[in-house]
Amino acid sequence: MESIRNAPEALREAIGRDDLGRDEDIAFHDRVAMTAGNEKFRTLLKTIGNPIAQTITIGLQLGRQKSDSLRQRVIEEHRPIAEPIAAGDREAATTVMRYHLFQARAGLVDMHHHMNPQSA
């Protein structure tokens, strides 16, 4: 549980080194899936070219290109997920994880429309 609780700080440190933070972000999602007993998600994370890892990478790359505040938001999105998991609060963890996934999806849709304005 401590590794989940420390994950936002690990991501912050990676970004502070001007690293993308992809490995730290994927490791966080792997720990969440492991704690939830979701082996299918863990397997998917480890698959080369998987859409989840690609989505994480795109989000981090966009954050790098945009601003420090966007990069900070990416880091801070993990804290509300990590805390209820570390505390063993399954209901709260489920709620914040669903919100996180919703936000990630919305961000990708926005990015798609920005990159392909004719499809909007």
pLDDT in tens, 8-60: 888 889 878 888 788 888 888 888 888 888 898 888 777 765 777 777 776 77
Report residue 67's pLDDT band, with 50, 70 and 90 as the boundaries: low
Nearest to 62 by CA among 23, 120, 115, 119: 115
pLDDT computed for residue 5 by the predictor: 85
Is a pLDDT exceeding 70 seen at residue 120?
Answer: no
Q: What radius of gyration do the chain's Cα atoms show?
A: 14
Q: How many CB atoms lie within 10 A of CB 33?
A: 18
Confidence (pLDDT) at 63: 64
The CA-CA-CA angle for residues 62, 68, 72, to 5°, reads: 90
| Contact present, 39 and 31 (Cβ < 8 Å) | no
Going from N- to C-terminal start, the domains of the chain cover 2-119
Query: Is the model's pTM score more than 0.75?
Result: no
